[in-house]
Structure 1
Amino acid sequence: MELAQGTPLEMTPPPAGSAGPPVWVHILPVGRFQCRDGRGPFVMNDPQAVINNTVAYHGTADIPVDYDHQLLWTRNNGQPAPAAGWIKELAAKPDGIWGRAEWTQVAAARIVAKEYRYLSPVFLYDAAGTVMKIECVALVNNPALELTAIASVGFGTFGPPALSAEERAVCSQLGLSEAEFYRANQRSQHEKAECARQVVEDHEICSRLGISLADYLNIKQQG
């Protein structure tokens, strides 16, 4: 990914009725903002610093754009998380951060058909709500942040569900963002579910074989 400062003309989405989806898309607003569902407030007063942090965070990888934040849910629901596109470049503009998107053929067709109309950034922020970097972006139809929509004038949204006051306190103590805490918690719950599933399977096997669980576990351990 390369940093770039595009001109307002380059970053303006194509007019309604154009043949393809926009190349430059609005990812984050500048200043103080809050989600319609109450999350926030968040602050982004230095778009270029966020761009620099984002590029350092992703390294040589592009920023993924998925559908409906499936990247956040795939470990929990086991469903695939195909890319809708990739953010290849970021640029600061007076109204926030814009990204140059390279869409897949499938996503381009769905955007043109207005099956997906809005963008939803997942960003990491500190305890004060200051935006630090962008993790990924999603195509959504349930927006919460006021952004320039990709298919018409409208809104965008921010990712993971809000945490409780106790969970936010843990994040502050551990130096984690809410997104990082959410993913770690999802992994923990997934591992617990896997463990419970394995216990049920072990009991069913013991019942079919007519042996005790202790004997069965001993046999498993031996080989």
Structure 2
Amino acid sequence: MTTRTATALFSTTAIASETGSAAPAWVQLFPAGPELVARDGRRWRLSDPASVIAAFEANGAPLPIDYEHSQAHRAPKGETAPAAGWITAMEIRDGALWGAVEWTDKAAAMIVAREYRFLSPEFLHSKTGDILRLAGAGLVNRPALRMAALSRAEDPASPDASTDAPSNLPETPMDLTALCRALGLDAGASIDNILAAVERLKTEHQTAVAAAQAPDMERFVPRADYDQAIARADTAETALAAEQRKIREADVNAAIEDAVKAGKIAPASRDHYRALCAQEGGLDRFKDLVGTLPVIGKPSDLDDKDLAAGKSALTDQQRSIASKLGLSDEDYAATA
């Protein structure tokens, strides 16, 4: 069952009379039901007060009474939330729920001094408003709690315990600053503007959910189609790169063979120039170099043969060529 925690200030929960000289040993926790109406207009049902007592007894421990519901608001933030007293027993009196209280000295003195006059129960209720069990209570004068489940607006003046509160007393408004900030509104936005902003958020959320469930086919494609298209693109890119390599290799081989046939480079130096052409911009540099080289030999049918053995010393012209190519005399002689 979904449950929620709430607090309420009822018109009959005064704990200090005009002439009281001691803190009361018994306090009223809930007025007689079944319909309970808090002073801010909220409603609950106390259909089975005996079950509330049974839940208290099953808990096996007294329930705290604190100051201004500090157990609900300060304790979760690690702040001090001392007890003012402890509810040790409960009983039904004419349909109302009463509790026996052991007050702390400090709280008893404050009650006698009328520094606190009212008790506000904190309780667990079902989603439909049925009170299930008591969680504790707080000494209060004018509650204005901040948590959504506990927030309420109360009269700025404490009512007399013997009379119902007038319905025309002014109310202390809830602090909606944080809510306005979250909605992007000015801090003083009206309730109508806040509700309108909430409705806009709901509409935007519904639109987003609908769009996610049925995406626009002009902007989105199924994942399988996307993966297949990417695979095809990768295959095409690989094939294109391979074809480009073949074309480049053919261009390099053609340029080298042209240089050999022209007598500008030795046939045995093909691999050296092929490595040069493999570098970035290498083919262009090779063509520029060939344009500056003199003819070092006429083409013959011996161009592809190894004539390295028995070579004589290089001529001055051959040394000049070897220097331009960055080759030693021995390396050049081996390729000549």
* Interval of TM-score (by shorter of Structure 1 and Structure 2): 0.5 to 0.7
Could you tell me which runs of 5 or more consecutive residues in structure 2 were left unpaired when the two chains were aligned: 1-14, 144-151, 166-173, 175-336
Name segments (4+ residues, structure 1) moved above 2 Å.
13-19, 34-39, 75-79, 151-156
What is the aligned counterpart of 1:24 among 23, 26, 31?
26
The equivalent residue for 1:110 is 110
Structure 2 residue identity aligned to 1:33: L
Cα deviation per residue 1:29-50 (whole Å; 9 max; x = unaligned)? 22201223343x2101221111
The equivalent residue for 2:54 is 52
The equivalent residue for 2:82 is 82
| 1:84 CA drift (Å) | 0.3
Query: TM-score w.r.t. structure 2 length?
Result: 0.37
What does 1:129-208 align with in structure 2 at a 5 Å threshold? Answer: 129-142=129-142, 152-153=161-162
Q: 8 Å contact 1:23–1:102 — kept in the other structure?
A: yes
Q: 8 Å contact 1:118–1:154 — kept in the other structure?
A: no
CA distance in 1 between counterparts of 2:37 and 2:105 reads: 33
The equivalent residue for 1:100 is 100
CA distance in 2 between counterparts of 1:84 and 1:49 reads: 26
Structure 1 residue identity aligned to 2:125: Y
Cα deviation per residue 1:147-177 (whole Å; 9 max; x = unaligned)? xx9x954689xxxx9xxxxxxxxxxxxxxxx
Structure 1 residue identity aligned to 2:46: M
Secondary structure in 2 matching 1:99: strand
Describe the shift of the 1:14–1:69 C-alpha distance in structure 2 as closer, same or farther (beyond 3 A): closer
Higher strand share: 1
CA distance in 1 between counterparts of 2:109 and 2:71 reads: 21
2:44 is the counterpart of 1:36:
no
CA distance in 2 between counterparts of 1:95 and 1:47 reads: 8
| Deviates most, 105-114 or 124-133 | 124-133
Q: 8 Å contact 2:123–2:135 — kept in the other structure?
A: yes
Instruction: Choose between structure 1 and 2 for higher RCO, CA contacts under 8 A separated by at least 6 residues.
Output: 1
Q: 8 Å contact 1:64–1:83 — kept in the other structure?
A: yes
Structure 2 residue identity aligned to 1:88: T
Describe the shift of the 1:76–1:14 C-alpha distance in structure 2 as closer, same or farther (beyond 3 A): closer
The equivalent residue for 1:193 is none
Secondary structure in 1 matching 2:73: helix
Structure 2 residue identity aligned to 1:48: A
CA distance in 1 between counterparts of 2:16 and 2:142 reads: 22
Query: TM-score w.r.t. structure 1 length?
Result: 0.55
From the CA coordinates, give the structure whose radius of gyration is larger: 2
Q: Say how many residue pairs are matched.
A: 138
CA distance in 1 between counterparts of 2:106 and 2:163 reads: 22
Secondary structure in 1 matching 2:134: strand
CA distance in 2 between counterparts of 1:118 and 1:79 reads: 23
Q: 8 Å contact 1:118–1:155 — kept in the other structure?
A: no
